[in-house]
Structure 1
Amino acid sequence: MWLSDRRTLLLAALALGACGFTPVYGPQGSGGTLVDSVLLPEPGRPESYLFNRRFEERLGRAPATAPYRLTLQLQTTEQGIGSTSAGSTTRFRVIGRAFYTLTDTATEAVLAEGRTNAFTGYSTTGSTVATLAAERDATERLMVLLADQVIDHLLLETAAEAG
């Protein structure tokens, strides 16, 4: 059984190589184009700071003279999704949206633009301190999700342009 699973994995890897698949961060991949090259907007809110922190963890911090600039608009909303028989909300869903545009700073040409959505949740059944910590954690997880999705979309766009 193990041998047949191994053969399937090797055949799948060969098939991907034969179809022109190139890893984004590989030697001929397009992922290196954006590393340390995307200037982010100054964070004006805690959510923006969390988004920028995750973006820079993955793609690095760009200098002021970066070849690309990301314009970003973040939106978050909360929705009560659980309640007790007395009407108290016991669980919230935090919904986030990121609208982004990647621009070439030299030509002001729009290279990529789009929108991404994600959501997380938290419980309010603990103490006030626990509820506030859960809310902060949910917001941080949401910004990580949104930043990862924006980065993935940008990497796919640059891969499509390069190939």
Structure 2
Amino acid sequence: MSLSDRRTVLGLLAAAPLAACGFSPVYAPGGAGDALRGQILVEPPETRNEFLLVTRLEDRLGRAGSPRYALTLDTDVEERGIAVTGSNDITRINLTGTTRFRVVEAGTDVQVHAGSVRTFTAYSTTGSTIATAAAERDAQERLMTALADQIVSNLLASAGRWS
């Protein structure tokens, strides 16, 4: 058996379990990604972090025209110094973000899905005051992007059960 024949056989053997379990790509026509696109209205943001989170969610899920679902968010960000010098100066700050979310039917407010995601990022405080402020804003943006991406992954993975 030639090398290319072996690769073909191994590829078919590797794909067989996926076909048997009903696997289908999320972004395929008719997949969960397609079904949720533009169907979830995200609650309006009130803070800068919420604005960053909602913007990323709408980028990934699309803006809702005639939404079937509404998404409510509750986000907390905890800040903690993780690197301290001998003179007690903090040189690195860790941001830990947690977002609890609920998906409800738009007309009835019946909850169809809920979850929670958590992640972290950090930034350095060793530069000037302006550099530190810029690093903090960048870290907050990275944190909200990561939280939004986790929420979207959760929604897409579970959409077959509730959408």
TM over 0.5: yes
Unmatched runs of 5 consecutive residues or more in structure 1:
none
- Quick one: which amino acid aligns to residue 59 of structure 1? L
- Asked if 2 retains the 8 angstrom alpha-carbon contact of 1:76 and 1:94, the reply is yes
Q: Does 1:51 align with 2:53?
A: yes
Please list, as runs of the form range in 1=range in 2, the aligned pairs for 1:61-100 lying within 5 A after superposition: 61-63=63-65, 65-100=66-101
- Quick one: which amino acid aligns to residue 37 of structure 2? V
How far apart, CA to CA, are the structure 2 residues paired with 1:9 and 1:81?
46
Q: CA deviation at 1:19?
A: 2.5
- Cα distance change of structure 1 residues 124 and 3 upon mapping to structure 2, 3 Å threshold: farther
After TM superposition, the score normalised by the length of structure 1 is: 0.89
**Identity rate of aligned residues, in percent?**
41
How far apart, CA to CA, are the structure 2 residues paired with 1:48 and 1:5?
48
After TM superposition, the score normalised by the length of structure 2 is: 0.89
Aligned residues: 161
Structure 2 partner of 1:158: 159
The RMSD of aligned alpha carbons is: 2.1
Q: CA deviation at 1:74?
A: 0.8
Report SS of the residue matched to 1:26: coil
- Cα distance change of structure 1 residues 80 and 6 upon mapping to structure 2, 3 Å threshold: farther
- Quick one: which amino acid aligns to residue 41 of structure 1? E
- Asked if 2 retains the 8 angstrom alpha-carbon contact of 1:22 and 1:28, the reply is no
- Cα distance change of structure 1 residues 4 and 48 upon mapping to structure 2, 3 Å threshold: farther
- Cα distance change of structure 1 residues 90 and 30 upon mapping to structure 2, 3 Å threshold: same
- Cα distance change of structure 1 residues 50 and 5 upon mapping to structure 2, 3 Å threshold: farther
Structure 2 partner of 1:106: 107
How far apart, CA to CA, are the structure 2 residues paired with 1:118 and 1:9?
35
How far apart, CA to CA, are the structure 2 residues paired with 1:131 and 1:4?
56
- Quick one: which amino acid aligns to residue 100 of structure 1? F
